[in-house]
Structure 1
Amino acid sequence: MMTTQLLPRVFLFTSGGRDMKLADPESRYTPEEVKHFYAGSYPILTNAHIEGPNIAEDEVQYRFVTTLGTKG
């Protein structure tokens, strides 16, 4: 018998050279709404764009990509 499983969403970003993994605050939120939710705690996310979803490690992963501090 085949079963299905809903994979959890996680949101990733890099800050200060460290990879951060953020939990999904509310499954109803769009990835953009999640970005705004976390921007209060991580202001660098206000100008980030979203990549994904990618499925890895039994998770649906979205990545917040910032360009702050990069040249060129």
Structure 2
Amino acid sequence: MLITEILKRVFIFEVNRREIRLDDPRREFSPEEVKHFYSGSYPILTNANIEGPEIKRDEVQYRFITTLGTKG
């Protein structure tokens, strides 16, 4: 028997080498809309790029990659 399951989406970014995991606010949101949703609480996300999706540990992971503090 084949069982299908909708995988949970999670959004991840790093601040000071610490990984912060954010829950999916609404399944209907695109990753860009999720970034906008959380940018009020985490202003560093305003200019972040989105990588993913990548399936790991039975969840769909998206990463917000920030360029703050990098040179070049």
TM-score of the superposed pair, with normalisation by structure 2 = 0.98
* Mapping of residues 8-27 of structure 1, within 5 Å: 8-27=8-27
Residue 36 of structure 1: how far off its partner (Å): 0.3
Structure 1 unaligned runs (5+)?
none
1:32 corresponding residue in structure 2 = 32
2:57 corresponding residue in structure 1 = 57
Residue 5 of structure 1: how far off its partner (Å): 0.4
Partner Cα distance (2:9, 2:59) in 1: 6
Partner Cα distance (1:57, 1:70) in 2: 30
Partner Cα distance (1:46, 1:63) in 2: 14
Partner Cα distance (2:28, 2:6) in 1: 14
Which residue identity does 2:21 align to in structure 1?
Answer: K
Which residue identity does 1:39 align to in structure 2?
Answer: S
Structure 2 unaligned runs (5+)?
none
Kindly report structure 1 stretches of 4+ aligned residues shifted beyond 2 Å: none
3-state SS, counterpart of residue 50 of structure 2: strand
Residue 16 of structure 1: how far off its partner (Å): 1.7
3-state SS, counterpart of residue 10 of structure 2: strand
RMSD: 0.5
